Amino acid sequence: MKVVVVNGQNHKGSTWHAGHMLAQKLTSDEDITEFFLPRDFSDFCCGCVKCFTESEERCPHYEKLHPITEAVDAADVIILTSPVYVYHCTGSMKAWLDHYGWRWLVHRPEEKMFSKQAVVVSTAAGAGMKSANKDMKDSLSFWGVPRIYTLGTAVMEVSWDGVKDSIKEKLDRRTAKLAKKIISSGIKKRASFKSRILFFAMSKIHAGSENGADGSYWREKGWTSGKRPWKQEK
């Protein structure tokens, strides 16, 4: 099982440990690919909208983004981690996610997403895991990932070294339970109810659209004439 971990922070604190504990229970070290933000990607979307209107390759940050995109596409499980910063994910994580607007279901979703599972991981000193995890989950869900788990932990500390053993042990148990669930669920093509509804609506819209990047993509995939990325080819 291939796992990609994209950390919304550069350091190996509580959040990294939570994500790493889970990744290690899912697969062997050589099958884990890891990125740190902003170290591995630090650009902000400049709003040129070329990714939407022309091609993702026209993004001024394409060369730097592409290796991360490739690793995400190759993974069976995507883990996104972020410490809670003022009740949300970090700016680095948000800046990276902004670069994938073109991949949302309404634009040009990647077919591979429909057979992946994902986990959003956050830690906070006290509160804000729900909203930080939602920041990351929203993107994964609109990319088409059918199964997304959340792992939020209030570590009651600002550094991993100071986190109580009881909290670390609880995290160990929770990651073990989650890893078991992910492994047993396996890799199958599927789509959430929300994706199916959105896909149906967009297939009608793109069928009638002119030759924009999105319309051409949908027509080439056959999605405007009934094909679906989560269905096996007959």
Ligand X SMILES: Cc1cc2nc3c(=O)[nH]c(=O)nc-3n(C[C@H](O)[C@H](O)[C@H](O)COP(=O)(O)O)c2cc1C
Taking CB positions, which residue lies at the least distance from ligand X?
A: 13
Contact window for ligand X (CB under 6 A) among 14-22, 23-31, 188-196, 215-223 = 14-22
Residue 108: count other Cβ atoms within 10 Å of its Cβ.
20
| Angstrom distance (rounded) from CA 173 to CA 154 | 15
Nearest by Cα to 68 from 45, 46, 38, 88: 38
The tokens describing 15, both together, are: 């959040």
Interaction of residue 125 with ligand X, rule CB under 6 A: yes
Identify the DSSP state of 148: E
> Residue 160 or residue 217: which is nearer to ligand X going by CB?
160
| Angstrom distance (rounded) from CA 51 to CA 89 | 24
Interaction of residue 161 with ligand X, rule CB under 6 A: no
> Residue 26 or residue 171: which is nearer to ligand X going by CB?
171
Interaction of residue 92 with ligand X, rule CB under 6 A: no
Q: What are phi and psi of 87, to 5 degrees?
A: 70, 10
Interaction of residue 13 with ligand X, rule CB under 6 A: yes
Interaction of residue 86 with ligand X, rule CB under 6 A: yes
> Residue 59 or residue 121: which is nearer to ligand X going by CB?
121
> Residue 48 or residue 158: which is nearer to ligand X going by CB?
158
Among 51, 72, 80, 84, binds ligand X (CB under 6 A): 84
Nearest by Cα to 32 from 54, 4, 58: 4
Interaction of residue 133 with ligand X, rule CB under 6 A: no
Q: CB-based contacts of 77: which residues, under 8 Å, 6+ apart?
A: 1, 2, 3, 4, 26, 27, 116, 117, 118, 119, 182
Interaction of residue 49 with ligand X, rule CB under 6 A: no
> Residue 12 or residue 181: which is nearer to ligand X going by CB?
12
Q: By the criterion CB under 6 A, which residues form the site for ligand X? A: 9, 13-16, 83-87, 123-128, 155, 158, 160
